[in-house]
Chain A
């Protein structure tokens, strides 16, 4: 009896796996789900024998936690999109990711689409490429056009620290402390630092990341010290609020600028009050950097094929379909985000999209000067160490900002050394 039911189970499961489709997990935000639905439908129509089943990443605290749990449980999909490059080394250590460079025509396809340097930037230390560069969301500052003009501040004034602080003082004086130029996020959660400290650090250092090529901590250099000092002076002078609010300060006109990427524009368009006018400027830099190119955090998200893929070649074929010029254009059109594709500005396929959304040109121009995050399995812990010092020295003014960034760097060194 038992043997018979076991056989039956076995038969059922093989039957099921024979019909099993390729699984694809896209990000769970509404625009990207719409895009994923459209391409999955198009693919399934053209490939009746290799069906793809789309299932948005379960909404959770973070995509990384979901994927890591899936790797541990061996329940990863064949393909997932929206992967944060900072998590790649953890995923690789867990044995979750397929070395994509082993796929036929991977190198030539990716070089043609995104360029050799982008591909190199995502090559891991062991020479394998565990992620497929997909899109970037250069971080810039969105500003409230009407209110900034009312305060007598020109967008160009925000390019340097001294200009930025002057502008913040003007805003404070004009509205008696009821409005702020910039209300930096005060939540100590590690990834919040991407959009304040880290963006400003990349700009101030002329495009450095937290670790150097040998994996050594360098962010307590002059640039790091300048960023902490700059941010701390905003709070110290009362130019930034130390309390949080459930309301959206930018929409309510309580904060005149906020960090934003192309992905925030659809949100603005749907939720901003009527007549709300916005535009974008690059992040501010130390005065001495004036005139040099402004680098920023690129907030890149990539695609990957997992080691659980039933047939990596078919999965790659599907990824190539997602990354084709037509679908890159569809992606840009439906999400307002920027694919890692060369010459978008000159390509006629993209011209109508850029015409309909002129602000995207600013992000495209910024896109050439972006940095991602370091490939380190200690990255979250390092960002957490920075965030703790940010919370104490920058937001709450405990201790001086220069010793604080040095302390964060020392913590980061201890973390890397395993202590």
Chain B
């Protein structure tokens, strides 16, 4: 015992100093990028919540809690929050169910598997604005979708012009666009499940549904959590679709929090108020994703 301590390994601090200069150098690009494009804007946004600034001028008077008071009185903010939650409630479950179902099918032995995987991924890597413009045409009063309804002798719908349909229409489109990405996450998760578990289940006479319910789903938990959190954050950031397709209408029914933020920032030049909206939204996202982790995450080994 004493002999060992007589020749101790190098103290931790010294080891660090000796081994790290190259490490710092390699970390430098990321750290610089983080400081300039994440830390600084974040700090500046916090600073702006208690100031007023119109972007073009240098004048930034201190306004105390005025921006927060305005937020609490602003009906539009609460409308936008409600709309965003409606979007979330339609989009996230739909996204998970569709992506998971497709992943299970594409993980199995089917023809043209690579083709389908690519096809489902394509919308995700296509520009959101382009997709929004095309879907606007599909959803138009005289668009393709109403054309199908006509063939089936059903009445045409105001997909983007009805206050009740507009947000769900956008949610369906967003699901179609992003499904490829979440599909890939689920596929990766599925391929990590050892085939031996399924073989054993087969020997024990488990049905397909039982295998899915008792093996696939529990073992996909990490992927599920990731998809849930990412799609929730994505849903809270809803912007391009209403911006391009509806401008927030009809009657503010597709006004999302980020669209309201954009208008205040870049149309009305109220950067202080816009930053306040942004900071409050970030807090809400943090809270929701934290709760999701607490509820969904589970340690599991077989």
Which residues from chain A contact B209 at a C-beta distance below 8 Å?
Answer: none
Encode B236-255 as 1/0 by CB contact (under 8 A) with A. 00000000000111111000
Residues of A186-225 contacting chain B, CB below 8 A? 186-190
Best-surrounded residue of A65, A243, A247, A419 (most CB of chain B within 10 A)? A243
A sample of 25 inter-chain contacts (CB < 8 A) reads A65-B266, A68-B55, A68-B56, A90-B54, A93-B57, A94-B54, A95-B57, A96-B56, A190-B267, A242-B158, A242-B161, A243-B140, A243-B158, A244-B140, A244-B141, A244-B160, A246-B137, A246-B140, A247-B142, A380-B268, A388-B251, A391-B250, A392-B251, A395-B250, A396-B250
Residues of B19-78 contacting chain A, CB below 8 A? 54-57, 70, 73
Q: Shortest 7 CB-CB distances between A and B: which pairs?
A: A94-B56, A243-B141, A188-B249, A381-B268, A392-B251, A243-B161, A72-B56
Cα distance A396–B263 in the bound complex, in angstroms: 22
Residues of A382-403 contacting chain B, CB below 8 A? 384, 388, 391-392, 395-396, 398
Which residues from chain A contact B252 at a C-beta distance below 8 Å?
Answer: 388, 391-392
Whether B161 and A93, one on each chain, are in contact in the complex, defined by CB atoms closer than 8 angstroms, is no
Best-surrounded residue of B136, B143, B249 (most CB of chain A within 10 A)? B249
Q: Tell whether A384 pairs with B247 under 8 Å between CB atoms, given A72-B55, A95-B57.
A: no
Cα distance A95–B59 in the bound complex, in angstroms: 12
Q: Is A245 an interface residue (CB 8 A)?
A: yes
Cα distance A398–B251 in the bound complex, in angstroms: 9
Encode B126-169 as 1/0 by CB contact (under 8 A) with A. 00000000001100111100000000000000101101000000
Give A308 Cβ to nearest chain B Cβ, in Å: 14
The dominant DSSP class at the B interface is: loop
Q: Is B226 an interface residue (CB 8 A)?
A: no
Cα distance A396–B246 in the bound complex, in angstroms: 15
Known contacts A95-B57, A246-B142, A419-B73; 4 additional CB pairs below 8 A are A94-B54, A377-B269, A384-B263, A419-B70
Which residues from chain A contact B143 at a C-beta distance below 8 Å?
Answer: 246
Between A and B, how many residue pairs show CB distances below 8 Å?
75
Give A207 Cβ to nearest chain B Cβ, in Å: 27
Q: Is A147 an interface residue (CB 8 A)?
A: no
Q: Tell whether A94 pairs with B141 under 8 Å between CB atoms, given A188-B248, A188-B249, A391-B250.
A: no
- Chain B: interface residue total (CB-CB under 8 A): 27
Whether A384 and B140, one on each chain, are in contact in the complex, defined by CB atoms closer than 8 angstroms, is no
Q: Is A71 an interface residue (CB 8 A)?
A: yes
Whether B70 and A187, one on each chain, are in contact in the complex, defined by CB atoms closer than 8 angstroms, is no
Cα distance A190–B158 in the bound complex, in angstroms: 22
- Chain A: interface residue total (CB-CB under 8 A): 33
Cα distance A209–B270 in the bound complex, in angstroms: 24
Encode B255-298 as 1/0 by CB contact (under 8 A) with A. 00000000100111100000000000000000000000000000
Cα distance A338–B26 in the bound complex, in angstroms: 63
Give B18 Cβ to nearest chain A Cβ, in Å: 32
Residue of A nearest to B249 (CB): A188
Encode A94-110 as 1/0 by CB contact (under 8 A) with B. 11100000000000000
Give B284 Cβ to nearest chain A Cβ, in Å: 23
Residue of A nearest to B269 (CB): A90
Residue of B nearest to A382 (CB): B268
- Measured CB to CB, the residues of A under 8 A from B are 65, 68, 71-72, 90, 93-96, 186-190, 241-247, 377-378, 380-381, 384, 388, 391-392, 395-396, 398, 419
Whether B267 and A384, one on each chain, are in contact in the complex, defined by CB atoms closer than 8 angstroms, is yes
Whether A396 and B140, one on each chain, are in contact in the complex, defined by CB atoms closer than 8 angstroms, is no
Which residues from chain A contact B70 at a C-beta distance below 8 Å?
Answer: 419
Which residues from chain B contact A68 at a C-beta distance below 8 Å?
Answer: 55-56
Give B260 Cβ to nearest chain A Cβ, in Å: 11
Cα distance A380–B269 in the bound complex, in angstroms: 10
Cα distance A187–B244 in the bound complex, in angstroms: 11
Which residues from chain A contact B268 at a C-beta distance below 8 Å?
Answer: 378, 380-381, 384
Which residues from chain B contact A391 at a C-beta distance below 8 Å?
Answer: 249-252
Residue of B nearest to A243 (CB): B141
Which residues from chain B contact A71 at a C-beta distance below 8 Å?
Answer: 56
Which residues from chain B contact A72 at a C-beta distance below 8 Å?
Answer: 55-56
Which residues from chain A contact B250 at a C-beta distance below 8 Å?
Answer: 186, 188, 391, 395-396
Cα distance A396–B160 in the bound complex, in angstroms: 13
Cα distance A392–B76 in the bound complex, in angstroms: 13
Give B268 Cβ to nearest chain A Cβ, in Å: 4
Q: Tell whether A244 pairs with B56 under 8 Å between CB atoms, given A381-B268, A391-B250, A392-B251.
A: no
Q: Tell whether A93 pairs with B56 under 8 Å between CB atoms, given A244-B140, A247-B142, A380-B267.
A: yes
Which residues from chain A contact B251 at a C-beta distance below 8 Å?
Answer: 388, 391-392, 395-396, 398
Cα distance A384–B268 in the bound complex, in angstroms: 9
Best-surrounded residue of B57, B161, B250 (most CB of chain A within 10 A)? B250
Cα distance A398–B164 in the bound complex, in angstroms: 14
Cα distance A214–B249 in the bound complex, in angstroms: 33
Which residues from chain A contact B158 at a C-beta distance below 8 Å?
Answer: 242-243
Best-surrounded residue of A186, A244, A247, A419 (most CB of chain B within 10 A)? A244
Residue of A nearest to B266 (CB): A65
Residue of A nearest to B137 (CB): A246
Encode B108-140 as 1/0 by CB contact (under 8 A) with A. 000000000000000000000000000011001
Cα distance A384–B255 in the bound complex, in angstroms: 13
Q: Tell whether A187 pairs with B247 under 8 Å between CB atoms, given A243-B141, A391-B252.
A: yes
Cα distance A381–B74 in the bound complex, in angstroms: 14
Residue of A nearest to B248 (CB): A188
Residue of A nearest to B264 (CB): A381
Give B240 Cβ to nearest chain A Cβ, in Å: 13
